[in-house]
Structure 1
Amino acid sequence: MNSSYKIGSIMGIPIKVHITFLFILPIFALVFATNPQPYGFANIGSTAMTYGLSLLTTILLFVCVLLHELGHSYIAKGYGVEIKDITLMLLGGVSSMEEIPREPSQEFKMAFAGPLVSLIIGFVLLGLNVVASAYVPSYSSTWLSLMVGILASINIILGIFNLIPAFPMDGGRLLRALLAKRMNYVQATHFAASFGKMFAFMMAVIGWFYNPWLILIAVFVFFSASEEDKSTTVTVSLENYKVSDVMSKDVISVEPEMTVEQLSHFMFENKHLGYPVIKGNSLKGIVTFTDIRNVLPHERYAVLVSDVMTKDVVTLPSSASAAEAFKVMTINNIGRILVMDGDNVTGILSRTDLMKSLMLLTE
């Protein structure tokens, strides 16, 4: 099931909305509608007007979040980083980048761009309210003034909050960039991630007594910091090795005419959960346990491998770096990659192969 839906493109970057965004949208609108001024629109007019202004403010708030992410993306694109997409979701926005620049000064500028955009938006809106109130006496009592004030306050808070040096928030990336000037990249990431997890724990404790939302944010920060720490360690450790160094050269293949029943027994006998599908000397696809597990038992005698295999095969040459293989697996959410040199399958590389190699390299 696709959990994100594209709604447009900006600067050539696909803009997506995650399904969780559709849940948070009415919740935010309800919060604005039930809170009194200056934090909401309760009792500002009719019920329709209250909820209409609340929904509009929520939408504009997420537009500001999008601009925050575009700030990151604009700087990143300037350094040649490919932006896969920007997704609006439950806890804000996420820019999906090919990779974070390793040069500390580049990462610093890229990380700072988002909070800077939020702070600029916040102070510009605050300034507009001050100027408008000075020249239009009745302006300060209008719904427009209230909406602009809410958006200004939230953007300023968002900008300041993101500067907290807790990985993986922007402040954590700023901290890593500063540390990376004095120590290696893995050590800098580990230190920043540890600080982020400590911050998440403190946030969860505060949230337990005052605001359950903080617990949700704390969980996100903790697991994101852990994942970033692990991913960076794996990537850096594998950078000096090629796919040919860690792949399995003894490739066991299956034919497209094999039935799913035969394949299930074949998997049990060979103790592998994925195989290239080859006819003659031609690669036709790849079939994994995931492809066959939804085939009903009584249908397995009639369904062929060619019916369930994945035809769009992700491949890499044996000369590619092992770090690139890990990145490709992560981006495509797959457990193995076929290694091809020219038209020949010369090996297969699984995530298990990479993890075993990493264990040996880090001992």
Structure 2
Amino acid sequence: MASALRLFSFRDIQVRVHWTFLLLIGWIVFSVLSGGQGFREVLVGIVLVLVVFTCVVLHEFGHALTARHFGVNTRNITLYPIGGVASLERMPEEPKQEFLITLAGPLVNLAIVLLAGTVHLLLAGLRFVEDPFEGGPMLLTLSSFLIVVNAMLFLFNLIPAFPMDGGRILRSLLAMAMPRTRATRIAANIGRLFALGFMAYGLFNGQPFLVLIGVFVLLAASGEARLVSTQAALHGIPASRVMRTLFWRMDAGATVQQAVDELLAGGDKDLIVQDRGAYLGVLHESDLMKALQEGRAQARLSDLRPKAAPPVKPDADIGQVYLQLMQGKWNILPVLDGERLAGIVELENLSEFIQVREATGGAGS
């Protein structure tokens, strides 16, 4: 079962909702009903949550469309119970670009506050609906709610808890005055402190979602700091120095059964498929098993539509290749020297290379 359900696409950016989002809806229904309220209040609660997450989607599109302006694509936007995540293919290393991409999200919320505030003033002056469950004119209630929600989203996202927006803004500002690795380390340490604060406050005040946010920030801050540090350590090393020249490859005309026979004989999990010596794509062992289950043992490998993992050049910076492997959907990337398949770079082998460098103080391999 897929972990996320596709809702729609806009400007070639897919918006998805993670299955755990249903837990949030269930929690709302339980909370409202256990409080002695009825179906109307449940419906209002669900509608308000959908309004909040509509604002979250707009926030994430602020990031995604600004990133596109700088040549960075967004794979998808996924909604979770604790918020949304725009999965950028990469974060620009240029501090100014990261600053603008990150700031764009909160600025969307600020724009909604100003728009809703203008509508509110035109409708009711300074009158404010504090509790949307009490009823009242629909536009007045909605504008009041939008002002509060988006003001909270704007302020909360500016908290410098890396890798939240505020933390990324802090990292980009620091990176204007120091190396990006050091800026990331400082921002990540501050993020960890905020994460512990979120978790402590949530535990002592019965705020489970704040605890979840704290856990997310703690794990994400540590993970990204490690990613940036490793990428920096690998910077300047060409892919040709790390690539494997002995790997599993077969011609596109070979059958699934022939590939499975080689798989059983031992070796890699990913198969490079070639068409008369030219790189065609990659098949994983799961693709072969699926074909067997479908009774396609004699089908040609080309019939399975090998996935075209993006090739890299022999002189490609392995730091960038590492980032591509870590943030992408590929376990291996082919290395092409012109039209010739020179080798592959895989995450497992790259991890071993990193371990050797660490063990030898950066002099190994």
If the TM-score is normalised by the length of the shorter chain, which range does it land in? 0.7 to 0.9
5+ residue gaps in structure 1?
37-41
1:355 deviation in Å? 2.0
Query: CA–CA distance in 1 between the matches of 2:46 and 2:329?
Result: 35
Tell me what 1:226 maps to. 222
**Larger mean Cα displacement after TM superposition, 136-145 or 222-231:** 136-145
Q: Which residue of the partner structure matches residue 23 of structure 1?
A: 22
1:87-128 per-position Cα deviation (integer Å, ceiling 9, x unaligned): 223222212222222222222222222122223323543454
1:92 is aligned to: 83
Task: State the shift of 1:165 in Å.
Answer: 0.6
Which residue in the other structure is 2:7 paired with? 7
Q: How many residues align?
A: 349
Provide the residue aligned with 2:277 in structure 1. 281
Native 8 Å contact 1:285 1:309 kept in 2: no
Deviation at 1:77, TM superposition (A): 2.6
Q: Secondary structure at the match of 1:316?
A: coil
Q: 1:318 to 1:309 in 2, by over 3 A?
A: farther
Match of 1:159 among 127, 130, 154: 154
Aligned-partner Cα distance in 2 for 1:326–1:81: 17
User: Which of 328, 333, 341 is residue 329 of structure 2 equivalent to?
Assistant: 333
Pairing partner for 2:110 from 108, 119, 130: 119
Change (3 A) 1:172 1:349: same
Amino acid at match of 2:64: S
Paired AA for residue 161 in structure 1: F
Note the 1:106-185 alignment, pairs <5 A: 106-126=97-117, 128-134=119-125, 142=136, 144=138, 145-185=140-180
Q: Counterpart of 1:336 in structure 2: which amino acid?
A: I
| Secondary structure of 1:73 counterpart | helix
Name the CA distance, whole Å, in 2 between partners of 1:324 and 1:360.
19
Say if 2:67 is the partner of 1:68: no
Q: Is the 8 A contact 2:158 2:165 kept in 1?
A: yes
Distance 1:70 1:157 in 2: 18
Q: Which moved more, 1:352-361 or 1:190-199?
A: 352-361
Contact 1:253 1:276 in 2 (8 A): yes
Mapped pair 1:347 → 2:343: yes
Q: Structure 1 residues 74 and 349, CA, compared in 2 at 3 Å: closer, same or farther? A: closer
Q: Secondary structure at the match of 2:344?
A: strand
How far the C-alpha of 1:206 sits from its partner, in A, is 1.7
Name structure 2 gaps, 5 residues minimum: none
Question: Given the two structures, how large is their TM-score scaled by the length of structure 2?
Answer: 0.80
Quick one: structure 1 residues 106 and 328, their matched pair in 2 at CA, closer, same or farther if it must change by over 3 Å?
closer
Determine helix, strand or coil for the equivalent of 1:69: helix
1:42-92 per-residue CA deviation (whole Å, 9 max, x = no partner) reads: 86xxx4543333332222211111121122233323323223332223222
Correspondence for 1:50: 41
Match of 1:236 among 223, 226, 232: 232
CA distance in 1, matches of 2:28, 2:175: 41
Q: Which amino acid aligns with 2:201?
A: I
Paired residues for 1:179-194 under 5 Å: 179-194=174-189
Q: What corresponds to 2:241 in structure 1?
A: 245
- 254 and 5 in structure 1: CA distance in 2 versus 1, 3 angstrom threshold: same
Deviation at 1:167, TM superposition (A): 0.5
C-alpha separation between the residues in 2 aligned to 1:121 and 1:345? 51
For residues 353 and 56 of structure 1, the distance between their equivalents in structure 2, rounded to whole angstroms, comes to 49
> What's 1:39 paired with?
none
Equivalent residue for 2:209, pick from 207, 213, 221: 213
Pair 1:105 & 2:99 matched:
no
Q: Which runs of 4+ in 1 moved over 6 A?
A: 135-141, 293-297, 302-305, 307-310
How has the CA–CA distance of structure 1 residues 262 and 153 changed in structure 2, closer, same or farther, with 3 Å as cutoff? same
Q: State the Cα distance separating 1:272 from its structure 2 match.
A: 3.9
